Amino acid sequence: MAFSETGTSVAFRPALRLVEYEPAFGPPLVRCHRPRCAARRAHWVIPCSGSESAAAFTARPLRRRIRLFDHPHQQLCRVPSFTLRFASIRNRRRWRLAAESTPPGSSPRSPAIAHPQSHPPSWGRAMRKPLFSRNRKPRPPDKRAAAAAFRPIHRPRLSSAVSSKVSYGRRGLRASCHEDRLSALPDDLLLLILQRLDTRSVLATATLSKRWACLPRSLDALDFRVSDILPARYYRCIRMRAEADDFTYGFAVDIKMLRANIERYERRAMRAMTSSINNFLDADADQERGRLGLRSGFHALTTLVLQNLPESTPNAAYEAIFTLCPQRQTLHLKSCMLNEGVVSIHAPKSEIKQLIMEHCPFGVIKLYALPMLESMAVVETIVSYKLSAFPYLTHLNINFHRASPLPPSSSGRGHPIPYLPSLCFLFIQIYGDGQQRLAPPSSSSLPPCRLRVYHRVPIPCPS
């Protein structure tokens, strides 16, 4: 089993920290002094440059940092956006949060990019013609666009951003048979497909089925742009305002009203963006804490056998295997080349009941906490542990070569044979032709009952 196959779904969460902020993406935001600014309290001033101020920000909790970009009163037509770059398996432990000011009105392409689906087909035509002609004909070409400028903003019915009017009635595209070929593809192919979609569509795919739940988070980057959710009406208002400056409509347009509408759209979109991103990251944090198993890749996985992993597998990967996947009960590491160093396992929440480590040379596995562990087998692997860390351990199987140092498994009594009240089956095998003989444990070092020393116990092996 190559590790990369599981790796994408084991979902390595990056350490959530701000790696770099690039001032080049836009002017730093400043504190808002407007009396009715909704994001006033949540707003922080971005450091212009300098590593020390950036470092100060990395210490803040993430939500604060997100709110750096909450500012609703960007100059008109300058809506901020930023990109969350997540560390994926390819690009681990590196992500960045970048602020960017995109002027959607000034760039002719950006609205089309941001709204590939949400513009109605008539939108383009409406843009080219002036909404009001000079002679003030009573009926403008686009009734809704004109009306929107004058009436207070209404809340339209909710419809998903990804629902579209694009029809896809090509022949042969429907699945002919009743099997799901798409979900059957491996993760990396699905990610190849997903990275071609825009962020909102990608996030929406997480609701397809449980198979898809963790995929959007495995992508390298997610792009949150306010311009993605600014409604078409907003752009219409922007356009009308620009035209009104040239007196295209004479004095028919109330510029103050238009401006108020534009600001309201921006404010509302900014609020929505803030809360959505906070929701998104909160869920991420929940997952990190292991509260919800819904989005972890292998939430239903109970048995995992890793065999012949190459030396290049980072130790952090092994550690992640223990801490992620809350449901797993059996873990079997077989002939995995640990690279030099210590794999320290501290997983107080793990449910692992059975742990088998065999023939994993060149490294030390340190077990600190595996509270639910019931049986453990160690074959030719250097494992360091304190048995007091495993309160429920009942089966223990230790094999070691005479030449190698005795496993430091003693419970502090100076004898390699462990002492543990709950232990009822113990099997120790020492092989090799060394001179040293292991003295049989004195009866005082063993608990009075339930312990059969040198009892040969086959620990059930997952097939």
Partner 1 sequence: MEVDKGKGEAEETRKVAEADRDTVTLKSSDGKLFEVSKEAAARLSTVLAGMIAGGSIDDNGTDLKQIGSEALENVVDYCNKHANSIPSAALISSSISFNTAPFKEPEEWERKFVDRLSHDALFDLVEAANFLGMERLLDVTCHKISEMMKGKSPDQIREVFNIKNDYTKEELEEIRQELAWAFYDD
Instruction: Give the HSE-up count for residue 239: Cα atoms under 13 Å, Cβ half-sphere.
Output: 21
Phi, psi angle pair for 93, to nearest 5°: 55, 35
Distances, alpha carbon 313 to alpha carbons 2, 10, 32, 310, 395, in Å: 10, 14, 48, 6, 29
The verdict on 189 binding partner 1 (CB under 8 A) reads yes
SS3 7: helix
User: What residues from 205 to 234 belong to the interface with partner 1 (CB under 8 A)?
Assistant: 205-213, 216, 219-224, 229-231
**Do 327 and 352 touch, CB atoms closer than 8 A?**
no
- Whose CA is closest to 298, among 195, 210, 190, 216? 210
195 contacts partner 1 (rule: CB under 8 A): yes
Q: Which stretch binds partner 1 (CB under 8 A): 12-20, 122-130, 200-208, 255-263?
A: 200-208
Rounded least distance, CB 201 to partner 1, Å? 7
- Per the CB < 8 A criterion, the answer to whether 389 and 364 are in contact is no
Count the helices and strands in the chain (H runs, E runs): 14, 12
Q: Reduced to 3 states, what is the DSSP secondary structure of residue 324?
A: coil
Q: Which is nearer to partner 1, 30 or 292 (CB)?
A: 292
Instruction: Report the nearest approach of partner 1 to the CB of residue 127 (Å).
Output: 20
Q: How far is the CB of 199 from partner 1 (least distance, A)?
A: 6
Query: What one-character DSSP code corresponds to residue 404?
Result: S
Q: Of these, 13, 65, 67, 200, which contacts partner 1 (CB under 8 A)? A: 200
CB of 83 to partner 1, least distance (A): 6
* 440 token code pair: 């049989």
Nearer to partner 1, 11 or 194 (CB): 194
Which lies closer to partner 1 via its Cβ, residue 198 or residue 374?
Answer: 198
356 vs 299: CA distance, rounded Å: 21
The nearest distance, CB 135 to partner 1, in angstroms, is 34
Distance, CA of 352 to CA of 349 (rounded, Å):
9
Site string for partner 1, 99-128 (x = CB under 8 A): --------------x--xx-----------
Q: In the set 294, 316, 342, 453, which binds partner 1 (CB under 8 A)?
A: 294
| Minimum gap (Å) between residue 268 Cβ and partner 1 | 6
CA distance 256 to 244: 11
CB-CB contact of 11 with 324 (8 Å): yes
Which one, 265 or 390, has the nearer CB to partner 1? 265
Q: Which 136-175 positions form the footprint of partner 1 (CB under 8 A)?
A: 155-156, 158-164, 166, 168, 170, 172-175
Instruction: Give the type of residue at 311.
Output: E
Of 32, 42, 204, 320, the residue at the interface with partner 1 (CB under 8 A) is 204
Quickly count: other Cβ atoms within 10 Å of residue 335's Cβ: 13
Number of residues near partner 1 (by CB under 8 A)? 79
Can residue 285 be called a binding residue for partner 1 (CB under 8 A)? no
Structure tokens at 165: 């009017």
Query: Which of these segments, 9-17, 46-54, 199-207, 407-415, binds partner 1 (CB under 8 A)?
Result: 199-207
Residues 265 to 284 in contact with partner 1, rule: CB under 8 A = 265, 268-269, 272-273, 275-277, 279-280, 282-283
Q: Confirm if 346 and 365 have CB atoms less than 8 A apart.
A: no
Q: Considering beta carbons, is residue 101 or 399 the nearer one to partner 1?
A: 101
Picking from 8, 21, 23, 25, the residue whose alpha carbon sits closest to that of residue 87 is 8
Q: How far is the CB of 297 from partner 1 (least distance, A)?
A: 15
Nearest-approach distance from CB 229 to partner 1, in angstroms: 5
CB 191 within 8 A of CB 231: no
> Least separation, in Å, of the C-beta of 441 and partner 1?
52
- Read out DSSP for 131-171? SS-TT--SS-S-HHHHHHHHSPP--PPP--TT--S-----T
Element (H, E) at 274: helix 255-289
Is 87 one of the binding residues for partner 1 (CB under 8 A)?
Answer: no
Q: Of 37 and 162, which has the nearer Cβ to partner 1?
A: 162
The contact pattern for partner 1, residues 28-47, with x = CB under 8 A and - = no contact, is: --------------------
Per CB under 8 A, contacts with partner 1 among 322-381 are none
Give least dist CB 27 to partner 1, A. Answer: 22
Nearer to partner 1, 117 or 248 (CB): 117
